[in-house]
Chain A
Amino acid sequence: MKELIERLRSKFNAKNIKEQRKNFVFITVEKKDLEGCVLYLKEFEGYGHLTLLTALDWIEKDQFELVYHLHNYSNKTDVSVKTFIDRKNPTMVSINNLWAGARVYEREIKELFGIDFPGCPRVNDPFALEGWHEIPPMRKDFDTKKYSEETYFPRPGRYTKDNVAQMEEQLYPVEAEVKNGIAETVRKK
């Protein structure tokens, strides 16, 4: 594992190397190096199994993160290659030439995050949603509760107990009162 990390560092300028477990490592590469990196891992290091491909929305950093999780059958190790792409007009190079199964992942990410993968077959076909006109639902700025309440006729009578307030009142009554400003008024009296 150590030698592999060294090779990745020298070849693809891998950063943020984090060994989560002894046979499992996360690395981050630049967007332009990603295809070369996964190709290298697949062809020369034996990481032939694409376990998952998914995306994360970091709205504060204005970036999407793509995670390519690869597994090696022979020495039973995993490498997770991550890359950050811009949140405006996100596009990524498709890897469906390397893994036939990757086209499904790319179709899903295209629909749920709006990241485009030019060249992937059927990438524009709808995956799970039908007739969706909002922004892609897995983005952080899409509010699913608000959308549901506006669209789907919520049945009246559902109430939520705010856990924080409820536990504060039960466990720390005085502090809760202070926080809510009730105790101040009581003391003044």
Chain B
Amino acid sequence: MTEVNNEENKIIKPDYCDPELFCTALPKEVPRMNNIIQKFYDWAQANSLWLLAFGTGCGSIEMRPLYTARYDISRYGIAPRPTPRQSNLFIISGYVSVKTLKRIIRSYEQMQNPKFVIGLGSCTINGGMYWDSYNTINRLDHYIPVDVYVAGCMPRPEALIAGFDELKKRIKEGRGEGANEYAKNFAWYKANQKKIIKDWDMPDYNW
């Protein structure tokens, strides 16, 4: 277990947090094995990306045509799943308001390891159109680790497919280490998250 459980970043247990229902353990780093089995794992993970069907912003309207016969992401082994427990790819489709960010963090933490994040649209990179808005975040990578960004407002489905290809390449090269990064820099991510989510009423790591 990483040593982040200090005074500033202590686990909050609200009244309704029944310790039998909530796991309060902190995320663990899983070291990579440098052998052929790890390579096989990487290859297998790259070819079964199951994305979480959570349209967090307006980019989700271009995710819908991806499932139809014209773009058909099933042929790449990518399928939408309705629950975070079954998925390992989170597409943050567009701007993230503070209220949504709280749900994104919960969903992200509930996803299985190894997990990957694609930031879709300019809004996730630097705020995009809403760079001066009081309710949307500017940089997604300060709150959760991001593997691939797809630029554009809004990106075409082809751009998203190219983003998937890029992600696959990264995973095969062994660079899809978002979950480990999150565990390693857990205190930093939590501090950033708590800076903008003022009424934090959930456990710190709600797996």
Report if A and B associate in a common complex: yes
Residue ranges of A at the interface with B (Cβ–Cβ < 8 Å): 128-134, 137, 142, 144-145, 147-149, 151-155, 157-158
Residues of chain B contacted by A132 (CB below 8 angstroms): 198
Total interface residues on B, CB under 8 Å, equals: 22
Which 9 A-B pairs give the minimum distances between C-beta atoms? A131-B198, A131-B199, A155-B126, A145-B132, A152-B138, A144-B134, A130-B99, A147-B134, A153-B139
CB pair A152–B199 under 8 Å, yes or no, is no
Known: A142-B134, A144-B132, A144-B134. A152 touches B196 (CB 8 A): yes
CB pair A158–B131 under 8 Å, yes or no, is yes
- Asked if B47 is at the interface of the complex by the 8 Å CB criterion, the answer is no
- Asked if B6 is at the interface of the complex by the 8 Å CB criterion, the answer is no
Known: A144-B134, A148-B131, A148-B133. 5 other contacts (CB 8 A): A129-B135, A130-B199, A142-B134, A152-B137, A155-B126
Chain A interface, >50% SS class: loop
Residue ranges of B at the interface with A (Cβ–Cβ < 8 Å): 98-99, 102, 125-127, 131-139, 142, 192, 195-199
Min CB–CB distance A63 → chain B (angstroms) = 23
Which residue from B99, B131, B134, B198 sits with its C-beta under 8 Å from A137? B134
Residues of chain B contacted by A148 (CB below 8 angstroms): 127, 131-134, 138
CB pair A131–B134 under 8 Å, yes or no, is no
Closest to B98 in A: A130
Residues of chain A contacted by B102 (CB below 8 angstroms): 130
CB pair A153–B142 under 8 Å, yes or no, is yes
Closest to A151 in B: B196
Min CB–CB distance A56 → chain B (angstroms) = 19
CB pair A129–B99 under 8 Å, yes or no, is yes
